[in-house]
Structure 1
Amino acid sequence: MIGLKFYPDKVIQALVKDLPEVRWSEKFGMVYLPNHSENLNLIFSKFKGVCWINCSHFFPNRPVRNGHEELSVDSYRQRLPKEGWRYCPEEFYQKLELKKYATSTARAYITLFEKFINYYENEPINELSEIQINAYLKFLIGEKRSDAYINQSINAIKFYYEVVMGMPNRFYEVDRPQKKEKLPEVLSHKEVMKMIGVTQNIKHRCIISLLYSAGLRRGELLNLIPTDIESNRMMIKVRDGKRGKDRYTLLNESMLNELRQYFKEYRPTKFLFESAKKEPYSGTSVGKIVSKAAKKAGIRKRVTPHMLRHSFATHFLENGTDIRYIQTLLGHNSTQTTEIYTHVANTSFKQIINPLDLGKNI
């Protein structure tokens, strides 16, 4: 349900009464109505120009940091003044740190927001309107910027107004590029096994094998500690995954033996995978390990760590595993997210006779 709580006001009360299926909750002391996109959009349009809508309890701003790297944007704070260039306000930096945003996201937001406020260099930041934001987005389109770049620019702008300044509904009419429905890139089982087979370094082999056999995200792999490998239960505990969720995934017997060999040789202290200096292993290093193994295995396309997770899900589906189990192992909120793999799994296509083979049955 969508709950609406407000100070007594005749105008607001009249508008609320005009909403569909509105009821009163004695328990929560507020009116409520069914939670779906039509009602949400109706609320925003009906109250626009009448009052601010504080959605901080309805749309909680979850931390997005998935690893162990502490965020600091001091390097941006300490920049020397640049004539004719406006930097982000201090509140912007503070909120990024308080929300524990990933370093890469924080850097992108700072860069993109500064580009936006300098496009309107003579305008007060807090007085910019939706019309001006849409005009800026058209400017980015004119620069031939990618959809991903434009979407992240919108996120950076909305972060300032909605999260930093607490104006949750100010720019809900900003137009985003239409999302393209791209299918996940996957490898065949044979290709993955060849990647593992050509990797001689036991540490690198364990990294590739875990990404595939446990369906881990890169950040989840880097966040593992030795006690997360629960050998008695043959399970791996994934802590603080996407949206801060914990879950369990599979531990293979041969994978466990490899990890034991790796542990004896490298003796990690805090995290399961660490650098030579016993510092947290970097995501860049994991990417290089996967890319190098793919090239060595003779795979011509660009291979990323996330492709191994996609392959994990697809191969399970092709093997007849119930999609609900795959959803749980991947940590998806809904089977709708997991269903994307049905479009790349070859299970259903095996039942179809290719037109070139039709003549063989005549």
Structure 2
Amino acid sequence: MQPIIYQPFKEAKRIKVYIPYKLFKLRNAIKQMDSSFWHPNQKLWSVINTPKNFKSLEKLCDGNYKIEKDIRFTPVPTVLLTENALEALFELEKALVLKQYSASSIKVYKKMFTVFLGKFMQRDLKEVNKEDIEGFVYELIKKSHISESYQNQLINAIKAYYEHALKMPREYYDIQRPKKTRSIPNVLSKSEVLNIIQSPKNIKHRAILCTIYSSGLRISELINLRIADVHSKDGYLFIKDSKGKKDRKTILSEQLVLLLRAYYKQYKPSYWLFEGQTGGQYSTTSIRSIFRKSVVETNSNPWATVHTLRHSFATHCIENNVNIRHLQNMLGHSSPKTTEIYTRTIEINNKTITSPFDSLLKNSTLQT
């Protein structure tokens, strides 16, 4: 079999490559390239999308390769909703508001349900059955290449309408979901985290990244932090109405307290801990921009996101032998099983763990 180089789209950040199992030398050569990354779910390697890297891949393959078009998500076409469809959308929104869903969740549910209405709004929605819905989802998977996440969000929205708005039995629309992947969170090394959080020259930007990492926050929790939520005397941050509408406490680093005091003296926020230039909450877009700039400047893992700082906090806590129950509470997980995934992300190498083979041969010499 030949290796396959997938022609990236102009805005794509990575060039993906398929390497047949038997091509060990080629795989090792690509592994040595700067920015090479393995995608276990797709069984592909990738490097940063630059003309130089594309030529390097072609040279490594020595003329024996295929170039194929990359596969991407095809946007689902939008249609103008009928009056009845808009009424159904309103009924879904009303049901979710009464159930006290968050504004962001309602926005996603409405967006996904609009996709469903685009297909079925000419029919009586009460007559649309499970088989119809699964056939629709199958069509989206085959034609639009929707992701597992998109599929789950779509099913959640459909079920919410039938179960909450129309009060139909939950079992009636037991729609087939994608098989759960057993992927592990992307995690940064301690040195990468240090480089990233020290990269911003602006003290507010630095304080934002440090707060997310040092307390294991979601980006939404960071922008909702009030000045009153910083309990420096007792050493904790109070997180109000986090995911699942739960309040919790998480650790407040002593070093972060010093940084926040210096930041406060300079910026003097009035209510929210981090405010925009004209007041009000800081935007998620700005935080992502700060993080992305720091990743690029420090040449860190290009696949990292702001949420990777939270994953890294959890993993580094496990490595520091923090009690799993304490970590669960700090992260705001309902189940310890969610927290236990971070036991699979800890760094495993011969510097952190001694192989029994080394112990066996500690006082002996292996014959070669």
Q: Which runs of 5+ in 1 are unaligned?
A: 1-79
Q: Deviations over 1:245-271 (max 9, x none)?
A: 111111112210110111111111121
Note the C-alpha offset of 1:104: 4.4
Q: Which runs of 5+ in 2 are unaligned?
A: 1-78
CA separation in 1, counterparts of 2:284 and 2:169?
Answer: 33
Tell me what 1:241 maps to: 242
CA separation in 2, counterparts of 1:325 and 1:83?
Answer: 51
Note the C-alpha offset of 1:174: 1.0
The correspondence of residues 1-362 of structure 1 with structure 2, limited to 5 A, is 86-87=85-86, 89=88, 90-143=90-143, 144-346=145-347, 350-353=352-355, 361-362=365-366
Q: Deviations over 1:149-189 (max 9, x none)?
A: 11111111111111222224154421011111210001011
> Quick one: which amino acid aligns to residue 128 of structure 1?
V
CA separation in 2, counterparts of 1:198 and 1:326?
Answer: 27
Stretch of structure 1 that moved more, 219-228 or 136-145: 136-145
Task: Work out whether residues 215 and 329 of structure 1, in 8 Å CA contact, stay in contact via their aligned partners in 2.
Answer: yes
Note the C-alpha offset of 1:116: 1.7
CA separation in 2, counterparts of 1:112 and 1:338?
Answer: 29
RMSD, aligned CA? 2.8
Q: 1 or 2, which has the higher strand percentage? A: 2
Provide closer, same or farther for how the CA distance between residues 302 and 358 of structure 1 changes in structure 2, counting only shifts above 3 A.
farther
Provide closer, same or farther for how the CA distance between residues 358 and 297 of structure 1 changes in structure 2, counting only shifts above 3 A.
farther
TM-score, normalised by the number of residues in structure 1: 0.71
> Quick one: which amino acid aligns to residue 338 of structure 1?
T
> Quick one: which amino acid aligns to residue 219 of structure 2?
R
CA separation in 1, counterparts of 2:132 and 2:80?
Answer: 26
SS in 2 for 1:224: coil
Tell me what 1:22 maps to: none
Task: Work out whether residues 290 and 303 of structure 1, in 8 Å CA contact, stay in contact via their aligned partners in 2.
Answer: no
SS in 1 for 2:250: strand
Q: Deviations over 1:120-167 (max 9, x none)?
A: 343111221112111212212222222111111111111111122222
Stretch of structure 1 that moved more, 175-184 or 126-135: 126-135
SS in 2 for 1:342: helix
Task: Work out whether residues 291 and 302 of structure 1, in 8 Å CA contact, stay in contact via their aligned partners in 2.
Answer: no
Task: Work out whether residues 88 and 114 of structure 1, in 8 Å CA contact, stay in contact via their aligned partners in 2.
Answer: no
CA separation in 1, counterparts of 2:357 and 2:285?
Answer: 45
Aligned-residue identity in percent: 37
Provide closer, same or farther for how the CA distance between residues 164 and 271 of structure 1 changes in structure 2, counting only shifts above 3 A.
same
> Quick one: which amino acid aligns to residue 123 of structure 1?
R
SS in 2 for 1:177: coil
Higher RCO (C-alpha under 8 Å, 6+ residues apart): 1
Provide closer, same or farther for how the CA distance between residues 146 and 356 of structure 1 changes in structure 2, counting only shifts above 3 A.
farther
Task: Work out whether residues 198 and 293 of structure 1, in 8 Å CA contact, stay in contact via their aligned partners in 2.
Answer: yes
> Quick one: which amino acid aligns to residue 92 of structure 1?
L
Task: Work out whether residues 314 and 345 of structure 1, in 8 Å CA contact, stay in contact via their aligned partners in 2.
Answer: yes
Q: Deviations over 1:301-341 (max 9, x none)?
A: 23212111111111111122222221121122222111101
Note the C-alpha offset of 1:197: 1.6
Provide closer, same or farther for how the CA distance between residues 301 and 170 of structure 1 changes in structure 2, counting only shifts above 3 A.
same
Note the C-alpha offset of 1:224: 0.8
> Quick one: which amino acid aligns to residue 245 of structure 1?
K
Aligned residues: 283
SS in 2 for 1:239: strand
Note the C-alpha offset of 1:92: 2.5
CA separation in 2, counterparts of 1:242 and 1:283?
Answer: 16
Note the C-alpha offset of 1:100: 4.9
Stretch of structure 1 that moved more, 344-353 or 167-176: 344-353
Q: Deviations over 1:206-257 (max 9, x none)?
A: 1100111111111111111111111111111111112111111111122101
Note the C-alpha offset of 1:196: 1.7
Task: Work out whether residues 213 and 251 of structure 1, in 8 Å CA contact, stay in contact via their aligned partners in 2.
Answer: yes
TM-score, normalised by the number of residues in structure 2: 0.70
Provide closer, same or farther for how the CA distance between residues 172 and 85 of structure 1 changes in structure 2, counting only shifts above 3 A.
closer
Task: Work out whether residues 212 and 222 of structure 2, in 8 Å CA contact, stay in contact via their aligned partners in 1.
Answer: yes
